[in-house]
Homo-oligomer: A and B are copies of this chain.
């Protein structure tokens, strides 16, 4: 965590960024956020993040008092102020203070926060490989809220806890149909028949910004990309599996509940090209 945050229009020391205990973000998880990669002091995929953020605002019917351009300028100013060249930026908005109860009526002053986190790890030579655990927490397909990155994340938190109990790094979640949907904090992909596969669009996964980057990488590498349904028992037959997330890019799945998954050259290649794309699109022109 860096020393300062953007808080409702001003950059202030982190200790001064405090919200009322009546803020609906704190009361009910009534808000949205974006976690974004910072490289070369810039925000990777800003347009895609802000587009999802704005769609989320529509679903939640919240009005952010700052324009997309002004948020971008503020994020860059904060990144400079905190001297973060590589790391993450988090943009969040909550509905602020309203009347008592779930009704959002009268809550017209959202709380907007941007925070930055310098990267602790150096550059890597190969993708991370994570152990994952199939969680007993479930996701529901076709739900409005799963299209936006909301601040109501207890299912994901409990899934991650279970995974940590099982000695794993991350949890995979199924939907009510028993399909693999996504990880607690990442999108899920697998490789079979030489193609990259992702769960069906209606399975209930968050439309990930890093997942969209991955699709662009597949296009560049002319690796076919398809949507399909996969159950945990189907993981035995895959050529490889991986996650995408803004913070880490591509992370290979090393094992699922203790059963090793094959190491895939394709995953390594996707990881490399994903990182190259981040470099390319954030590196200042000379």
Interface residues of A (CB under 8 A from B): 1, 5, 7, 14-15, 17-23, 25-31, 33, 59-61, 88, 92, 94, 100-105, 111, 113, 115, 117, 136-140, 142-145, 150-158, 160-161, 164, 176, 184-185, 247
Contacts and interface: CB of A to CB of B under 8 A. Distances in A.
7 contacts: A22-B115, A25-B25, A26-B151, A30-B154, A60-B154, A101-B247, A103-B164
Nearest to A114: B21
B138 A102 contact: no
Contacts of A164: 103, 105
B21 A19 contact: yes
Contacts of A94: 26
B176 A158 contact: no
**How many copies of the chain does the oligomer comprise?**
2
Contacts of A17: 20-21
Given A115-B21, A164-B105, A185-B101, A28 B137 contact: no
B27 A28 contact: no
A239 B145 CA distance: 35
B157 A30 contact: yes
